[in-house]
């Protein structure tokens, strides 16, 4: 039925053209942003998940930076420990060489040992990175143990959405070489601890030897300050043997400490690699949720542009049908 009040064909064509325009706007937005879900109104669930995961990825980027910083701290401590081990071996060699020597020879050797002891302290004091030193420690007047160095290693989100942080802890108490803390209960470091000359075991109370006398079972020495010559007196050979026992025990402790530092560095490197891989996986997962398929959208854009052109023509034809009614009333 032809009507001058309602042009059903034109209305249908207009509705089709509007739908095509809406789809065209959506496709153009996806192409311009690169996202098929760029805001909550596009897909609330996917947008929420993607936003949360992007936030987590930013946190993990910070964790990766913290792991890099932690690796540098541990590497610095390891370098200092490795240098100290080399020096402690040199002290052991000096002690061995002085065994059975004259007092004059021991006096000269003592000068060399003192220089090596100073070098040990320099290595420990210099092993500082970003304000952290694990070898030369001052635990203060009240602490009973040196504080662990905590390295942020992971950002975790539970199934309930709760957030937590994991750390790799370096036990400074077991690797420190010097301890300047003054608390009565604080343990000294590997090099400034009192050690029995019999087996190098650590004891709390010091019992200074009488230089030149035979070594006593209760005599104690510290690697940091032991002497084979003082004033005009040289250490006896039994005392030098006791010092060698002390140095050997300290060397074993330092080797164990270096092993712990190496293990900590390995853990940090593994965690850093895992964090990087995890961030890449999350990026890919977020992309699967919200990224636009540019090949698909490009093809869709071309099709919609053709539909738009056809829609305009269809609307023009539908509007033209109303003009044909006028011809019926013309003479």
Tokens encoding 108: 């000269």
Mean predicted lDDT score pLDDT of the chain: 88
Q: Considering the domain boundaries, does residue 14 fall inside one? A: no
The string of pLDDT tens digits covering residues 103-122 is: 999 999 999 999 999 999 99
- What is the total count of domains within the chain? 1
- Average of pLDDT values for 189-217? 93
Q: Considering the domain boundaries, does residue 4 fall inside one? A: no
The per-residue pLDDT for 177 is 97
Report the CATH number that the domain containing residue 46 is assigned in CATH.
Answer: 1.20.1330.10
Q: Considering the domain boundaries, does residue 330 fall inside one? A: no
pLDDT: is 36 or 269 the higher one? 269
Q: What percentage of residues in the chain have a pLDDT greater than 70? A: 92
Are 243 and 221 within 8 A, CB to CB? yes
pLDDT band at 302 (very low <50, low <70, confident <90, very high): confident
CB-based contacts of 196: which residues, under 8 Å, 6+ apart? 203, 217, 218, 219, 220, 246
Q: Considering the domain boundaries, does residue 249 fall inside one? A: yes
Q: Tell me, what DSSP letter sits at residue 26?
A: H
> Minimum mean pLDDT among 78-87, 137-146, 166-175, 255-264: which range?
137-146
Mind giving me the DSSP string for 194-260?
A: EEETTT--EESS-----TTSPPPTT-EE-TTT--SEETTEEPPHHHHHHHHHHHHHHHHHHHHHHHH
Q: What percentage of residues in the chain have a pLDDT greater than 90? A: 62
Q: Considering the domain boundaries, does residue 282 fall inside one? A: yes
Q: Considering the domain boundaries, does residue 86 fall inside one? A: yes
Q: Considering the domain boundaries, does residue 317 fall inside one? A: no
Greatest CA separation for the chain: 145
What are the two backbone dihedrals, phi and then psi, of residue 204, each rounded to the nearest 5 degrees?
A: -80, -50
Give the chain's end-to-end CA distance (angstroms, integer): 22
Are 127 and 80 within 8 A, CB to CB? yes
Nearest CA-CA partner of 191 in 226, 222, 227 = 222
Burial of 127 (0-12, 13-18, 19+ CB in 10 A): buried
Dihedral angle sign, alpha carbons of residues 304, 305, 308, 314:
negative
Show the domain range for 237.
35-291
pLDDT: is 61 or 185 the higher one? 61
CB-based contacts of 268: which residues, under 8 Å, 6+ apart? 67, 70, 71, 74, 151, 153, 168
The per-residue pLDDT for 26 is 73
- Average of pLDDT values for 6-14? 71
> Minimum mean pLDDT among 38-42, 83-87, 233-237: which range?
38-42
The per-residue pLDDT for 18 is 83
Residue 171 has pLDDT above 90, yes or no: yes
pLDDT band at 5 (very low <50, low <70, confident <90, very high): low
Q: Considering the domain boundaries, does residue 118 fall inside one? A: yes
**Which helix (H) or strand (E) element contains residue 313?**
helix 294-326
The per-residue pLDDT for 290 is 80
Cα distances (angstroms) measured from residue 24 to each of 40, 41, 305, 307: 20, 17, 7, 10
What angle separates helix 8-33 from helix 294-326, to the nearest 10 degrees?
160
Tell me how far apart the alpha carbons of residues 36 and 132 are, in angstroms, rounded to a whole number. 47
Residue 331 has pLDDT above 70, yes or no: no
- Average of pLDDT values for 136-158? 89
pLDDT band at 274 (very low <50, low <70, confident <90, very high): very high
């Amino acid at each position: 039925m032809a009507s001058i009040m309602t042009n059903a064909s034109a209305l249908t064509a207009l509705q089709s053209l509007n739908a095509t325009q809406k789809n065209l706007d959506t496709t153009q937005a996806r192409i311009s942003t690169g996202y098929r879900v760029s805001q909550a109104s596009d897909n609330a669930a996917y947008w929420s998940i993607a936003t949360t995961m992007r936030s987590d990825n930013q946190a993990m980027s910070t964790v990766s930076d913290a792991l890099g910083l932690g690796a540098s701290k541990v590497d610095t401590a390891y370098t200092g420990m490795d240098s100290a081990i080399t020096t402690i071996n040199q002290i052991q060699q000096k002690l061995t060489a002085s065994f059975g020597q004259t007092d004059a020879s021991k006096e000269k050797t003592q000068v060399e040992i003192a220089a090596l002891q100073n070098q040990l302290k320099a290595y420990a004091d210099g092993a500082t990175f970003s304000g952290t030193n694990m070898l030369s420690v001052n635990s203060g007047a009240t602490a009973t143990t040196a504080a662990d160095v905590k390295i942020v290693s992971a950002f975790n989100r539970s199934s309930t959405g709760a957030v937590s942080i994991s750390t790799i802890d370096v036990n400074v108490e077991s690797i420190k070489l010097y301890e300047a803390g003054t608390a009565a209960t604080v343990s000294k470091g590997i090099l400034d601890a009192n050690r029995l000359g019999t087996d190098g075991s650590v004891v709390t109370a010091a019992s200074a030897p009488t230089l030149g006398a035979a070594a006593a079972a209760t005599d104690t020495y510290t690697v940091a300050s032991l002497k084979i010559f003082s004033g005009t007196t040289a250490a006896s050979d039994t005392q030098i043997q006791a010092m060698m026992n002390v140095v050997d025990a300290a060397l074993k402790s330092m080797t164990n400490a270096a092993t712990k530092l190496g293990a900590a560095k390995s853990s940090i490197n593994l965690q850093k690699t895992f964090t990087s891989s995890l961030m890449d996986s999350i990026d890919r997962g977020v992309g699967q949720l919200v990224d636009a398929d540019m090949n698909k959208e490009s093809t869709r854009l071309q099709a919609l542009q053709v539909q738009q052109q056809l829609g305009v023509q269809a609307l023009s034809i539908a509007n033209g049908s109303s003009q044909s009614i006028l011809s019926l009333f013309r003479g």
